[in-house]
Amino acid sequence: MARGRLLTAGLAACALAAAGAVRAHHSGAMFDTQKLVTLTGTVRLFQWANPHCWIQLYAPALDGKMVEWSVEMGSTTELYRSGWRPHTLQAGQKISVVVHPARDGSPGAAFVSATGEDGAALGKVLKTVAQ
């Protein structure tokens, strides 16, 4: 572990809080959580994996040019708890995704929510485990 990395973590909590979207795996500092952008496009790949699931989505960039977005989601456990499954998305599927865009302007983003072509929220209705 880089000693300097932790040594410099002094105000990490403040920075983390300001970042807003913070994940189990890493901070959300690279994303602008003050911005919400809706991407409407076509799924190229739904990557069901850890530490994060990803949606690769063909959709217009903020300047209107068609690009491939990398939309970062939670871990498989986090998504499973939210009703997502490995086959929730298929290549070629048309969806709209609300995201926090990357601060550096690259076509990367943090997932917030998604809907299908019919406007219905993606993911199953959550079940409750009997206790």
Partner 1 sequence: MIRTLAVLLAAALVVSPAHGARNSQRRVQAFAKLPDWSGMWETASSKVITNPAGTGGPGFAKANQLWGNSNPPFKPELEAQYRAGVHDAAAAAAFANSFKGCGEGAVQLEKTFPFVMDSPMVFEVTVTPEQTLLTFDHGEIRYIYTDGRSHPQQDDLWPTPMGDSVGRWHGDTLVIDTIARTAGPFVLDSSIGLSEQAHFIERMRMIDHNTLEDQLTIEDPQRLATPWKLTFRFTRATDLDRMIPYDCEADRNPIVNGKMIIRPPEAPAQPAGAH
Closest CA to 46 of 105, 122, 118: 122
The distance of closest approach from Cβ of residue 38 to partner 1 in the complex, given in angstroms and rounded to an integer, is 15
The distance of closest approach from Cβ of residue 55 to partner 1 in the complex, given in angstroms and rounded to an integer, is 10
24 or 118: CB nearest partner 1: 24
Contact 103, 32 (CB under 8 A): yes
The distance of closest approach from Cβ of residue 73 to partner 1 in the complex, given in angstroms and rounded to an integer, is 5
C-alpha span between 110 and 30 (Å, rounded): 9
